[in-house]
Amino acid sequence: MVEKVYVTYNEVHKLCQASADRILNDFKPNLMIAIGGGGYVPARILRSFLKRPSAPNIPIQAIGLSLYEQLPSSSPSNPVETPGTKVTRTQWLDFSSLEMANLVGKNILIVDEVDDTRTTLEYAVRELQKDVETAAQKVGSNESTNFSIFVLHNKEKTKKGHLPQAMMDDGRYLAARTVSDVWICYPWEATDIDEHDKLAASQAKY
């Protein structure tokens, strides 16, 4: 049976708060790209902690990637999801309307909720790097664009996907917390938030 861990909005808020100083000081992002749907809420919370006096809010762009698939369960009200094998784009940046200067030469922070198999993160970094390289060629820029990653949770397991070695060597990857290979239930997935919070309160701290 899959072990489930219930995470509350309050815990997400505190994980973002605890990670903000390192992100601001080491990554220095001037643009965030949230991977939907799990990256939306952390990115928005994080932006509040990255805001500095007299400085503008860091813009947030969004992409949608799907990897998980639902499996049959003995309880129809309690379906189990498992990582799939193919990444599907459900939303991507519109380069016809997005100014190229918004990406080229910037420090871009990719935000997601969990690093499970790493397949989704690998896809996002690879494809975004391709798009930025194409954009840089079109505007004739030699500026370097740096990608970094923030996730709430990293699962301690063998990864199927791989991130650029330079990114890992430079420390441009940050997980607020590393956990065992459990199924993490985030509050934005809940259909009954009161029940979700009760389950979170009753469980042992992960």
Mean predicted lDDT score pLDDT of the chain: 88
Q: Strand 31-36 vs strand 4-6: parallel, antiparallel, or unpaired?
A: unpaired
Residue in 68, 50, 67 with CA at minimum distance from that of residue 59: 50
The pLDDT of residue 71 is 47
What are the residues whose beta carbons fall under 8 Å from the beta carbon of 132, sequence distance 6 or more?
103, 104, 145
Token output for 112? 């997601």
Token output for 157? 């397991």
Q: What's the whole-model pTM score?
A: 0.87
Residue in 121, 109, 203 with CA at minimum distance from that of residue 160: 121
115 is catalytic: no
Among 94, 116, 170, 181, the one annotated catalytic: 116
Tens digit of pLDDT for each residue in 79-88? Answer: 555 555 678 8
The pLDDT of residue 12 is 98
Residues 61 and 34 sit within 8 Å (Cβ to Cβ): yes
Token output for 124? 């996002």
Token output for 9? 């909005």
Model confidence at 38: pLDDT above 50: yes
DSSP assignment letter at 186? -
Residue in 68, 17, 10 with CA at minimum distance from that of residue 38: 68
**SS3 of 176, please?**
strand
The pLDDT of residue 157 is 96
First to last CA, the chain: 17
